[in-house]
Amino acid sequence: QVQLVESGGGLVQPGGSLTLSCTASRTIFRFNTMGWYRRAPGKQRDLVASISSTGTTNYAVSGKGRFTISRDNTKNTMLLRMNSLKPEDTAVYYCNYRDVNHNDWGQGTQVTVSS
């Protein structure tokens, strides 16, 4: 199992920005996809954005144009830059690592956008 450590969540005002970080316990250089998912209270966990080891990105409509996903393979780290945050972005955000042998999740980090 790949251990995933997340940080960067917290409380932010509407219109503000946060950057979430996820660090993996193994190299993320080759043959994988990493992503950020979120789950609001009473809702299912949904994709926010993903990025492959070759740099291909995918964004959910909810964050497209406001969120940017990136990765630093040397540091085994994935980032999610969130701008223009809205109250409806409030959720627990989860890091995901997926390759041919893994589908692993971080513990989640809380993001709260005040009204």
Please list the pLDDT of the chain residue by residue as tens digits (115 residues): 999 999 999 999 999 999 999 999 988 888 999 999 999 989 999 999 999 999 999 999 999 899 999 999 999 999 999 999 999 999 999 999 999 999 999 999 999 999 8
Radius of gyration in angstroms for the set of CA atoms belonging to the chain, rounded to a whole number: 13
74: three-class secondary structure by DSSP: helix
Inter-residue contact 29 to 11 (CB < 8 Å): no
Assigned token pair, 66: 């406001």
The pLDDT score that the predictor gives to residue 34 is 96
The pLDDT score that the predictor gives to residue 7 is 96
Residue length, the chain? 115
Residue type, 58: N
Residue (of 29, 34, 28) closest to 50 by Cα position: 34
Assigned token pair, 107: 């513990």
Distance CA 18, CA 11 (A): 9
Residue (of 27, 3, 18) closest to 93 by Cα position: 18
